Amino acid sequence: MHIRDAEIADLETITEIYNDAVANTTAIWNERLVDVDDRAAWLADRLRAGYPVLVASDDDGVLGYATFGDWRPHDGYRHTIEHSVYVRGDQRGRGIGSALMTELISQARTIGKHVMVAAVESDNAGSIALHERLGFVETGRMPQVGMKFGRWLDLTFLQLILDDRPTPA
């Protein structure tokens, strides 16, 4: 298994992984399934912004992906990003999420980002454990800010400070 930049040919599996999360999990709070064109536009947006979209792959194809984008659109947040990481259902628990996140964190540091935010559904114990293992610390919980599958969802924020710059200059 290795981590590399996503390519157009990866979009079919990325779309499947995304749609599986939409249809079956509270990891993502969307309800609309997407097609490959939607993910192609998303990939192009990320690359245009200078942000990575990484995949973990082996001879079997894409096993998972991870990316980040701006956390909030206002100027003052430009050193802060929010990421997402998804591993194919049959490949979880093999270190793939950790490998994707380790490379994503490294690339965030390389382009000078200062804080990485994870917004995780509060019952997603696997994701919270993954992030804590990587050094993220919980900074807040927002009860009932979301809904899916007929119930309210709580949101847990975790963050990783990426460098020790005393000022943003």
Ligand X SMILES: CC(C)(COP(=O)(O)OP(=O)(O)OC[C@H]1O[C@@H](n2cnc3c(N)ncnc32)[C@H](O)[C@@H]1OP(=O)(O)O)[C@@H](O)C(=O)NCCC(=O)NCCS
Contacting positions for ligand X (CB under 6 A)? 21, 25, 27, 85-87, 92-98, 118, 120, 124-127, 129-130, 133
113/131 with CB nearer ligand X: 131
Q: Min. distance of Cβ 154 from ligand X in angstroms?
A: 13
Q: Hey, what's the torsion of the CAs at 17, 18, 20, 23, to 10 degrees?
A: 180
Q: Min. distance of Cβ 66 from ligand X in angstroms?
A: 8
92/114 with CB nearer ligand X: 92
81/118 with CB nearer ligand X: 118
**Left if phi > 0, otherwise alpha if psi is -120 to 50, otherwise beta: which for 2?**
beta
Q: Min. distance of Cβ 158 from ligand X in angstroms?
A: 9
